Amino acid sequence: MFVFTAREHGLTIAIARILTFASLLFRPTAAIFFGKIFSALTKYGAGTATPENMMDDTVKWCTALAALGCCAWIVEEAFLVLLDDFW
């Protein structure tokens, strides 16, 4: 697989590996955030949370989900730029 690589590509490959491992964390983290959002909605539906509590929890986890999406966007873009630089 690395037959066409040269020694000067080593740094690029190392950074690509780091970005790949960072990218691996986004999907499970997003699943956890969605679980927190649905947990808040379920508590409200069961009558164990007030509308204010449900709204506060939902806004908090939706904001975290949006921040995670921005981080994923930056990391994935860096990975694509790095690949473009590699080839």
Q: What is the pLDDT of residues 30-85, one digit of tens each?
A: 999 999 999 999 999 999 999 999 999 999 999 999 999 999 999 999 888 877 76
Select from 62, 53, 14 the least CA-distant residue to 35.
Answer: 62
- In sequence order, the 6+-apart residues with CB closer than 8 A to the CB of 26 are 68, 71, 72, 75
**Quick check: helix, strand or coil at residue 3?**
coil
Contact predicate 54/36, CB 8 Å: no
Asked whether residue 4 carries a pLDDT value surpassing 80, the answer given is no
75 alpha-carbon distance from chain centroid: 9
Report the pLDDT value the prediction gives residue 58, as an integer from 0 to 100. Answer: 97
Rounded-to-integer distance, Cα 87 and Cα 84, Å: 5
SS3 47: coil
Q: Which two tokens stand for residue 45?
A: 């539906």
pTM of the model: 0.79
